[in-house]
Each structure stands twice: as C-alpha cells, then as structure tokens.
Amino acid sequence: MNYTQARSFTYKLFAPRLGGRLGVAFDWAIMGLIVINISAVLLETVDPFAAAYGRALYLIEFVSVITFTIEYVAHIWSITETRSYARPIWGRVRFMCTPLMIVDLLAILPFYLAGIF
C-alpha cells in the first residue's frame, strides 16, 4: 500500500458510510473506548476505587488517550482526501477549526497538560 492508498484507506475508515463494515466497526470501537475512558476517569474520583485500582484505571486512561491522539492525528492527515479540505496545509487547518475537531482536541488536551504541569 503506497502513501496515497494509505491516506485514502484511513479517510474511509473515519467515514462509516464509505468504509463499509470496517468503518462501522472502527466507529463502534471508538465509541466503546470513549465509554470505557469516561468510566475509568469517573472511578478514579472515588477514593476506594482509586486506592484499589488506581494504577489500572490510569493505564486505561493512558491507552485510550494515546488511541484518541492517534485517531485525531490520522483524521487530520487523511482529510485532504475530500474536496473541501484538499489543500495540504490550509485544508487541514480549516478542518482542525471545525467544532468536532475542537471538541476532540479539548478531550485529549487535559491529559497532556496535566502531564506537563
């Protein structure tokens, strides 16, 4: 698979209507991971759970945020497959400024900011 084919495949993966069964499965997997991540973050706030399972809960959060980050970057990388975002730099910048991408960024950013500060 060459660069263009990989980008096209990745773009279709993010669009379940284009990606077929694999796209739908990927979409459901991401939604499931979101639920698992939220559950882990919430359980970390309950002292008995945090004391007993803190390390495992953090590992779940870590793995899911890394997965979401890879998904975020791959989505930006592959968006140039559409006409409306076809320009390599400005298309991607415009896409990053869409509401859904801003929400995605705001979902992963606190994890990294907490690690920095």
Q: How confident is the model at residue 91 (pLDDT cuts 50, 70, 90)?
A: very high
Q: What is the DSSP letter of 98?
A: S
Residue tagged 């975020």 (tokens): 72
pLDDT value of residue 114: 87
Tell me the whole-structure pTM to 2 decimals: 0.89
Average of per-residue pLDDT across 93-100: 96
Q: What is the mean pLDDT of the chain?
A: 93
By residue count, the chain amounts to 117
Half-sphere CA count of 116, side-chain side, radius 13 A: 5
pLDDT value of residue 18: 78
pLDDT value of residue 116: 85
Distance CA(32)–CA(67), nearest Å, equals: 12
CB 39 within 8 A of CB 31: no
Instruction: For 15-71, write each residue's pLDDT tens digit.
Output: 867 778 898 999 999 999 999 999 999 999 999 999 999 999 999 999 999 999 999
Distance CA(87)–CA(22), nearest Å, equals: 27
